[in-house]
Structure 1
């Protein structure tokens, strides 16, 4: 699942919804087109959210002291994309 699948579903759906004038008995091609277009948008959004979620990583460290108290430290790191190739 990725951007390619989402864009493909979106393109096929919009073609069916807006450009196809043929009719198949008991099948509404316009409705199927809109459903595919919506599914394509959903795939693109979910792929973007999933890709963004993988960029950050949180590490939690808990230290217990001799007197029984605990100290917790959280560190969030953001992965940087490599610079574009020249």
Structure 2
């Protein structure tokens, strides 16, 4: 959700910055768009960092771990009718 949400914020900020020609009294739409883009970029960087850290924790790159083979067997039993 973090990466997708950040991309949406970046797109929304870009639309407000460059595509909207609307003026409100006391509010600059272009500045709001720039703030949304900066927030989206910050969220994207955080999300990419979090994905990298999670992958390193779950899949460590140690030689002992690479040679280990795990077999998982599941048996599904149909319920009696």
Relative to the length of structure 2, the TM-score reads 0.69
Which structure has the higher relative contact order (CA within 8 Å, separation 6+)? 2
Deviations 1:40-72 (A, max 9, x none): 111111000000001113xxxxxxxxxxxxxxx
Segments ≥4 residues shifted beyond 4 Å: none
Higher helix share: 2
**Residue 36 in 1 paired to residue 39 in 2?**
no
Q: How many residues align?
A: 61
Unaligned runs of 5+ in 1: 58-75, 79-86
Q: CA RMSD in A?
A: 1.8
Query: 1:67 corresponds to which residue?
Result: none
Tell me the CA shift for residue 15 of structure 1: 0.4
Gaps of 5+ in 2: 62-81
TM-score computed with the length of structure 1 as normaliser:
0.65
Structure holding more strand per residue: 1
